[in-house]
């Protein structure tokens, strides 16, 4: 055996911790070993390549010997090759994981053990590709499970598992927040701790369906918190199978939809209220149109527009108050605003919040009085004035008094005017009274309704 062979012999004897062996026995050990073995010069080519190496990498000894192991196997070291060689020179050995490319293009991962004697390296590799793939897959599975557990724990929904007897086996943070029971209090207890007495039958029906393999989707029901308060929830319940496919329990997701249901009820109430108010508005508009008369179509158009605008003005006040009503002083300021700049209007009265139908009637009435005063009464004269006052009378009666002064002389009309009919019609719908006094100094109108 040449000097290179002698070095390999000593490496093998050291690697196997054996006494000195014969050349024939050594050849058998090396060649027949299942573990891939190769020997290479520290700064040179492969000198030995056994059957295990051929079996793993696919290269025959004839293809491998004489080649650089790092080149033919495209070795990937965990650290730069010069550092590996330096460690071999310093300590005589190195171990670690290597990535190799086989003849058929497959990548394998090996647990490599190297020993140096003189300038020859004996490399013994063990294929750990399957183990590493399993470890990686296991790591990915564990990571997914951690993500899943994090999602479950941080979910706003209650996510609970139970066995087929209805005993709670897991209870996430969402369940604690929704039902008020801590996980330590709930796990091991029957799920009926969150079910009201009058709904206990629901759980029996759910478990029966789960045993049949059925899934329950978006079942809306009522559940009970730890403090006794009731909440509306949407339930989704699914069977849970073991590794053999047998149903062993159920997972349950409960979403608190109490506020959602309240919002739906509020929306429905608002829709009904909007419908009612729309009908009232349309009825008021229809009454304003039906009571409108004029000598020309243009005058009729202006009369209708003015009355509808008065209704629109007061409706803007309803929006601001969320349809509670409107302040009488604000209605008066809106309708008489154009005449207030020259201090020709005096408005006086306590704060009075009128409900919508009363506010509409007063808005139209003040519009009619102001329009008549501007055309024929005190506001048609430069020095004319209007006094508007209201007080609370007996028996919760609201009395509004409109007084005109400084206008042209007034004579009682021979027939009821259109504006008077509009005012009387709207006030009488509220079971109120209207009185017109045609004094020579100016019109006095008194309106009284129960407030």
Interhelix angle 258-290/297-320, rounded to 10 degrees, is 160
pLDDT in the model for residue 447: 95
In a domain, 295, yes or no: yes
Residues 56 and 171 both lie in one domain: no
Contacts of 84 (CB under 8 A, 6+ apart): 77, 94, 114
Residues 204 and 306 both lie in one domain: no
pLDDT in the model for residue 394: 79
Residues 43 and 110 both lie in one domain: yes
- List, in sequence order, every beta strand (DSSP E) within 226-373: 230-241, 247-256, 326-327, 345-348, 353-354
Question: What mean pLDDT comes out for the span 109-131?
Answer: 92
Q: How confident is the model at residue 4 (pLDDT cuts 50, 70, 90)?
A: very low
Residue 1 has pLDDT above 50, yes or no: no
* Percent of the chain's residues with pLDDT above 70: 81
In a domain, 56, yes or no: yes
Residues 99 and 165 both lie in one domain: no
Residues 169 and 126 both lie in one domain: no
pLDDT in the model for residue 393: 82
**How does pLDDT run across 205-224, given as a tens digit for each residue?**
999 999 999 999 999 999 99
Question: What mean pLDDT comes out for the span 267-288?
Answer: 66
pLDDT in the model for residue 28: 63
Question: What mean pLDDT comes out for the span 302-309?
Answer: 69
* Percent of the chain's residues with pLDDT above 90: 53
Would you state the structure tokens that stand for residue 50, as one six-digit string? 């056994």
In a domain, 49, yes or no: yes
Range of the domain at 308: 286-450
Mean model confidence pLDDT for the chain: 84
Q: CATH number of the domain that 201 lies in?
A: 3.30.450.20
Residues 196 and 106 both lie in one domain: no
Residue 130 has pLDDT above 60, yes or no: yes
Among 1-5, 40-44, 45-49, 420-424, which range has the highest average pLDDT? Answer: 45-49
Would you state the structure tokens that stand for residue 245, as one six-digit string? 């496919």
Q: What would you measure as the largest C-alpha separation in the chain, in angstroms?
A: 149
pLDDT in the model for residue 101: 96
pLDDT in the model for residue 418: 74
In a domain, 39, yes or no: yes
Residues 183 and 300 both lie in one domain: no
**pTM to 2 decimals?**
0.46
Residue 22 has pLDDT above 60, yes or no: no
Residue 2 has pLDDT above 60, yes or no: no
In a domain, 340, yes or no: yes
In a domain, 116, yes or no: yes
pLDDT in the model for residue 3: 47
Q: How far apart are CA 59 and CA 209, in angstroms?
A: 61
Residues 163 and 123 both lie in one domain: no
pLDDT in the model for residue 210: 93
Q: Which of 163-172, 185-194, 275-284 has the lowest mean pLDDT?
A: 275-284
Point out the domain boundary residue: 75, 97, 132.
132
Q: CATH number of the domain that 311 lies in?
A: 3.30.565.10
Residues 223 and 163 both lie in one domain: yes
Question: What mean pLDDT comes out for the span 333-349?
Answer: 83
In a domain, 140, yes or no: no
pLDDT in the model for residue 16: 45
In a domain, 261, yes or no: no
Residue 275 has pLDDT above 90, yes or no: no
pLDDT in the model for residue 165: 93
Question: What mean pLDDT comes out for the span 31-47?
Answer: 85
pLDDT in the model for residue 15: 47
Residue closest to 64 by CA, chosen among 53, 75, 79, 52: 53
Point out the domain boundary residue: 237, 256, 275.
256
Number of domains in the chain: 3
Question: What mean pLDDT comes out for the span 82-106?
Answer: 94
Residues 101 and 184 both lie in one domain: no
Residues 304 and 435 both lie in one domain: yes
Residue closest to 360 by CA, chosen among 418, 427, 407: 427
Q: Which of 19-28, 158-167, 176-185, 426-435 has the lowest mean pLDDT?
A: 19-28
Question: What mean pLDDT comes out for the span 172-200?
Answer: 93
pLDDT in the model for residue 262: 87
Residues 66 and 11 both lie in one domain: yes
> What is the edge-to-edge ordering of all strands in the sheet holding 442-450?
345-348, 385-392, 397-405, 442-450, 433-439
Residue 280 has pLDDT above 90, yes or no: no
Other Cβ atoms less than 10 A from the Cβ of 319: the count is 9
pLDDT in the model for residue 206: 94
**How does pLDDT run across 48-76, given as a tens digit for each residue?**
999 999 999 999 999 999 999 889 999 99
């Amino acid at each position: 055996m040449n000097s290179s062979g002698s070095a390999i012999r000593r490496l093998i004897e050291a690697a196997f911790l054996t006494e000195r062996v014969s050349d024939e026995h050594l050849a058998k050990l090396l060649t027949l070993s299942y573990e891939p073995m190769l020997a290479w010069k520290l700064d040179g080519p492969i000198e030995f390549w056994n059957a295990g190496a051929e079996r793993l990498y696919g290269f025959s000894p004839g293809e491998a010997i004489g080649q650089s192991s790092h080149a033919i196997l495209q070795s990937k070291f965990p650290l730069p090759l010069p550092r590996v060689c330096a460690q071999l020179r310093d300590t005589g050995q190195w171990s670690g994981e290597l990535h190799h490319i086989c003849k058929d293009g497959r990548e394998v991962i090996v647990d490599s053990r190297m020993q140096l004697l003189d300038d020859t390296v004996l490399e013994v590799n063990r294929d750990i590709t399957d183990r590493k793939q399993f470890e990686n897959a296991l790591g990915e599975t564990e990571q997914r499970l951690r993500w899943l557990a994090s999602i479950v724990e941080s979910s706003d929904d209650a996510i609970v598992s139970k066995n087929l007897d209805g005993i709670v086996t897991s209870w996430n943070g969402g369940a604690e927040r929704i039902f008020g029971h801590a996980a330590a209090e709930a796990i091991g207890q029957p799920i009926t701790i969150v079910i009201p007495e009058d709904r206990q039958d629901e759980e029996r029906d759910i478990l029966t369906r789960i045993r049949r393999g059925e899934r329950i989707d978006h079942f809306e029901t009522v559940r009970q918190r730890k403090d006794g308060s009731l909440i509306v929830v949407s339930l989704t319940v699914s069977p849970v199978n073991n590794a053999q496919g047998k149903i062993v329990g159920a997972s349950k997701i409960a979403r608190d939809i109490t506020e959602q249901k309240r919002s739906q009820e509020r929306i429905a109430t608002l829709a009904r209220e909007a419908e009612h108010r729309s009908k009232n508005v349309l009825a008021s508009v229809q009454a304003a149109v039906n009571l409108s008369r004029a000598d020309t179509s243009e005058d009729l158009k202006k009369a209708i527009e003015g009355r509808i605008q008065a209704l629109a003005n007061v409706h803007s006040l309803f929006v601001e108050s969320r349809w509670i009503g409107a302040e009488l002083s604000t209605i008066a300021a809106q309708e008489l605003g154009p005449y207030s700049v020259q201090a020709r209007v005096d408005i006086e009265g306590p704060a009075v919040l009128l409900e919508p139908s009363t506010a509409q009637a007063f808005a139209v009435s003040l519009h009619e009085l102001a329009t008549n005063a501007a055309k024929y009464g005190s506001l048609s004269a430069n020095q004319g004035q209007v006094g508007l006052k209201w007080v609370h009378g007996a028996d919760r009666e609201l009395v509004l008094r409109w007084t005109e002064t400084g206008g042209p002389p007034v004579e009682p009309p021979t027939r009821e005017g259109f504006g008077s009919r509009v005012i009387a019609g709207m006030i009488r719908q509220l079971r109120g009274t209207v009185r017109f006094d045609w004094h020579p100094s100016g019109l006095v109108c008194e309106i009284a309704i129960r407030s």
